[in-house]
Amino acid sequence: MLTQLVSEWAIAILDRTHYFGAAALMAAESMIFPVPSEAVMPFVGFQVADGKWNLWLAIFATSLGSLIGSLLSYAMGYYGGRPFVLALGKYVFLNVHDLDRTEQFFHARQGAWTIFIARFIPVVRHLISIPAGTGRMPLLPFCVATVAGATLWNGFLLWVGMRLREHWTEVQHYGHEIDLVIVALMVLGGLWFLRRRLRQRRA
């Protein structure tokens, strides 16, 4: 079953890397690397639900990782600017349109609240630290807003993982149906991504 294989693979990685691995993954998630928090934090919740990890240490480690990744992105924007970000981003499939949209989002509502709200918005939360850096946003409010938003979002996904683990027997019972949905979503997502890339190349 696909869901079982994915969960075993994710748990095996976290078993080997522990809190450091979770922090590193969340640091990557807060940068331009394609590491979604939705694919990391629920399995951190699995570790907590299984009694392998301490809840508060898990929250601390992942929030710290999010802050470190955000500060690195902030530094890229502050010192390197947009040309540096785009030059580096082409190696990790950075979407220029997404960066443009994130910059517009930030400049329309500059301030700590923008950084906080962005942590709950898909795609934007990966890139929001870059325009904060290029816009020379003060570092202290940036860090406070980042930690607050990241902790709430990460904590929510961790809680979802804990609840999912508690009902894992039921999930396995419907595993075949879930696998079909996952495969269908992956195919649709792949087709959407390919279509978008082709349209961008033509443009």
Span 100-109, pLDDT tens digits: 777 777 776 6
Q: How many helices (H) and strands (E) does the chain have?
A: 11, 0
Q: pTM score, two decimals?
A: 0.75
Span 158-192, pLDDT tens digits: 998 898 887 655 555 445 554 455 455 556 766 66
Residue matched to tokens 């033509």: 202
Both tokens of residue 160? 């979802």
Q: How many CB atoms lie under 10 A from the CB of residue 184?
A: 10
Both tokens of residue 117? 């709200």
Identify the CA nearest to 192 among candidates 69, 200, 60.
Answer: 200
Residue 5 scores a pLDDT above 60: no
Question: Which CB contacts under 8 angstroms, 24+ apart, belong to 185-191?
Answer: none
Q: Who wins on pLDDT, 202 or 48? A: 48
Residue matched to tokens 């949209």: 101
Task: Give start and end residues of each alpha helix (H) in 50-80.
Answer: 55-75
